[in-house]
Structure 1
Amino acid sequence: MKRRLVTPLPALLLLPLLFLLLFLLLFLSGCSTTPPDRPAGSDRSSGPAPSSSAPFTATDSGWIQLMTPMSEQAGQLLAMASTHESAPPLASWATALAKEHRTELAQLRQLLRRMGLPDTNVHEGHDMPGMVTDADLDRARRLTGADFDGFVRQEIRAHLEQSGRVSRSESRAGGSQEAKRLAARIADSRAEQLKTLSSLDE
């Protein structure tokens, strides 16, 4: 006795089954889009959401919180040098640079307030590159003559190099246009200030 061959269902009969399966998959996936900890009818905009258009970023905050104490501490050493019995070219340069740093510090603190950050030295006690520390200021007070002048040149050069470096980085990688513009101006100023300092060493 011959075995009967089972003829496969025509393709036209399989299409409705495929469409039904696809519909069920889409329906079930759509029902699962609501997070389990949020009610289905809750307002999704009620909580804070990150935005690429935020005015300030963590990079901006890190830069401003580093630059503010750097400028303040260096300004104190420059003010000391401007009234110290230093070589006239160094004293004159320190006086002009101290004035620039006071203007810069006012701009940094204004931006700090706009960012809602406290005007405190979050790096106090840290041995940060380019930072004139309280210990450095105490040492400068005990130095005289050429030793004092050499120490000021050394510390201010390190300050100008490091603050210029981090400001250039902020001008490229920061999020706030306001902060990036200020950082670019500071970086350009640092390059000019380093040239002037180098001319004093000649």
Structure 2
Amino acid sequence: MKAVRRAAASLLLPLLLATGLTSCSVSADPEPPPRPAAPPSSGPAPSRSGDPTDSAWVQLMIPMDEQAVALLAMAEKKTSDPRLRSWATRLRTAQDAELTALRGLRDGMGLPTTDVHAGHSMPGMVTADDLVEARAAEGATFDRILVAQIRDHLRQSAQVSRSETTAGTRADARERAEALVTARESQLADLDALAVNSG
């Protein structure tokens, strides 16, 4: 059932993101009052936050990476495969660096630090239930959970980021999304090679 839900959601998410919406976004004020015009002497004032697509992408990618890091952190003690442990450690380091960049982008956009997706099951998101299952698993069972969940995370985050590269309007957000897509392609290739070598 979970796989069906994620497959269906993965088809909808890029479309929703491209229109600046997500399935769990809420607008408390759908028609905010117009801002007063800036005085002529102030010069042009570019938008700080970008458009809703940029905001939606940043606010989704941060919790996606945070949850993935929580799962990757378990690999050091739980995986039965030294090569998988090494791969998970490298990926965790990369995801930590990615989170630093994404949080900086979020702060630069003036977005809240709260997780607007808390409690929601988004495609590619390692959920609280997934983490409970992983904590209870050991050895090869844990390895299967780790690989399945992280592969889904990498694929879905790449898909969402591709939508940002075409639909977003903020240059630094689009550049970060492009870098993320490139990183995901490499990370997925490494994971696929690891699976082949272990087969």
User: Shared topology, TM-score over 0.5?
Assistant: yes
Shift of 1:47: 4.9
For residue 152 of structure 1, the aligned residue among 137, 146, 150 is 146
List alignment gaps of at least 5 residues for structure 1: 1-43
Matched, 1:46 2:39: no
> Do the aligned partners of residues 166 and 45 (structure 1) sit closer, same or farther apart at CA in structure 2, a change above 3 Å counting?
closer
Could you report, residue by residue, the CA deviation over 1:153-182 in whole angstroms, capped at 9, with x for unpaired residues?
000000000000111110111110000000
Shift of 1:124: 1.2
Q: In 1, distance between residues paired with 2:68 and 2:112?
A: 20
Provide the TM-score with structure 2 as the length reference. 0.74
Q: In 2, distance between residues paired with 1:70 and 1:154?
A: 15
Matched, 1:133 2:127: yes
For residue 100 of structure 2, the aligned residue among 83, 99, 106 is 106
Runs of 4+ in 1 over 4 A off after TM superposition: none
Q: In 1, distance between residues paired with 2:129 and 2:35?
A: 51
List alignment gaps of at least 5 residues for structure 2: 1-33, 39-43
Shift of 1:134: 1.3
Higher RCO (C-alpha 8 Å, min separation 6): 2
Q: How many equivalent residue pairs?
A: 157
- What secondary structure does 1:188 align onto? helix
Matched, 1:199 2:193: yes
Q: In 1, distance between residues paired with 2:55 and 2:177?
A: 12
Q: Which residue in 1 is equivalent to 2:22?
A: none
Q: In 2, distance between residues paired with 1:171 and 1:124?
A: 25
Question: What are the residue-to-residue correspondences of 1:74-113 with 2, within 5 Å?
Answer: 74-113=68-107
Shift of 1:73: 0.5
Q: In 1, distance between residues paired with 2:158 and 2:36?
A: 41
Q: Which residue in 1 is equivalent to 2:177?
A: 183
Q: In 2, distance between residues paired with 1:127 and 1:45?
A: 35
Aligned-residue CA RMSD in angstroms?
A: 2.0
Q: Which residue in 2 is equivalent to 1:13?
A: none
For residue 51 of structure 2, the aligned residue among 48, 57, 74 is 57
Q: Which residue in 1 is equivalent to 2:159?
A: 165
Q: In 2, distance between residues paired with 1:125 and 1:139?
A: 17
Shift of 1:45: 8.3
Contact 2:68 2:125 survives alignment (8 Å): yes
Q: In 2, distance between residues paired with 1:82 and 1:122?
A: 30
Provide the TM-score with structure 1 as the length reference. 0.73
Q: In 2, distance between residues paired with 1:45 and 1:171?
A: 28
Identity %: 47
